């Protein structure tokens, strides 16, 4: 998800700070699946009212989105979201690496920013294997190091599981502990790491400029039966967070290769 945003935004942003904010907001909504391919965006007047800008500003943002191939605009038909073209890609296996907080001898705290129930974005529902009618709990949290914001976390959990804990508990307890207490037996996870740009909302929360580069991590967690139990979309300030991996050189002769070292002391996945 983050890779699409970063690559497209690099083609150029619309002129004007407000138009750039609208562009980044809509770009993120489209790449996250909030607006599925074939769906029609709200009209210019409605977008302008919702985002607190003029129709001219919205039009500038839509112009760039259209140039990037994300939407198609037709008189009388509105603005339609285009199907995303697949790009050649290379994948690195991070199955033995769970992101850890950088060991700086500090305690971290989390602040719950929003908590609600409703339908999941299209991409999230597909990744979790949820039906169209399945509701999820959506929570947005800010994690801080010594009162300095460094990560923006959005989680989606099926309502059937999430109803076992309260908003107050999520505000004070790590989600993975709440999942365990709810009877979830986590078995596996698949995660991708990429880069993205800070949307207006995220930029304000993390204290960075709009369009600033961020480390993006998406993780889908499954239980022993293979059911999706959590989707995490995490955004990190790269000046405050990094991923590390220790490797051993193993094998003999031409079969020698690098393998990750699993540190048993790091069993819990940090957010």
Res 270: pLDDT = 54
Query: In which band, very low, low, confident or very high, does the pLDDT at 95 lie, cut at 50, 70 and 90?
Result: very low
* Helices and strands (H and E) in the chain: how many: 9, 10
Helix H segments across the chain?
2-9, 17-31, 44-51, 55-67, 122-128, 159-162, 167-172, 175-181, 200-206
> What is the token pair recorded at 39?
């769906």
Res 254: pLDDT = 86
Distance CA 136, CA 179 (A): 14
**Which three-class secondary structure state does DSSP give residue 69?**
coil
CB 217, CB 237: distance < 8 Å: no
Rounded alpha-carbon distances, angstroms, from residue 123 to 11, 30, 195, 217, 257 = 24, 10, 18, 15, 35
What does the pLDDT average to over 23-50? 89
pLDDT tens digits, 132-171: 889 999 999 998 887 889 899 999 999 999 999 999 999 8
**Which three-class secondary structure state does DSSP give residue 118?**
strand
The answer to which of 51-55, 62-66, 124-128, 244-248 has the lowest mean pLDDT is 244-248
């Amino acid at each position: 998800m983050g890779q699409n945003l970063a690559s497209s935004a690099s083609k150029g942003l619309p002129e004007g700070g407000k138009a750039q904010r609208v562009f980044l907001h809509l770009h993120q909504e489209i790449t996250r699946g909030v607006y599925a391919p074939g769906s029609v965006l709200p009209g210019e007047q409605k977008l302008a009212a919702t985002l607190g800008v003029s129709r001219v500003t919205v039009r500038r943002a839509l112009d760039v989105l259209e140039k990037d191939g994300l939407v198609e605009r037709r008189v009388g038909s509105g603005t339609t979201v285009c199907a995303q073209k697949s790009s050649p890609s290379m994948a690195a296996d991070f199955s033995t690496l769970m992101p850890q907080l950088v060991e700086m001898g500090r305690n971290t705290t989390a602040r719950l920013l929003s908590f609600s129930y409703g339908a999941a974005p299209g991409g999230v529902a597909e990744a979790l294997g949820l039906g169209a009618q399945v509701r999820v709990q959506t929570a947005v949290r800010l994690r801080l190091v010594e009162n300095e914001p460094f990560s923006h976390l959005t989680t989606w959990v099926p309502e059937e599981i999430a109803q076992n804990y309260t908003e107050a508990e999520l505000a004070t307890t790590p989600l993975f502990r709440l999942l365990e207490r709810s009877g979830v037996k986590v078995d596996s996870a698949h995660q991708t790491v990429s880069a993205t740009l800070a949307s207006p909302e995220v930029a304000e929360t993390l204290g960075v400029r709009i369009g600033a580069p961020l480390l993006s991590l998406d993780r889908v967690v499954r239980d022993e039966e293979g059911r999706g139990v959590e989707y995490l979309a995490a955004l990190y300030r790269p000046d405050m967070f990094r991923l590390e991996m220790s490797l051993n050189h193993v094998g003999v002769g031409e079969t020698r290769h690098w393998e990750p070292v699993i540190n048993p002391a790091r069993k819990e996945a940090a957010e």
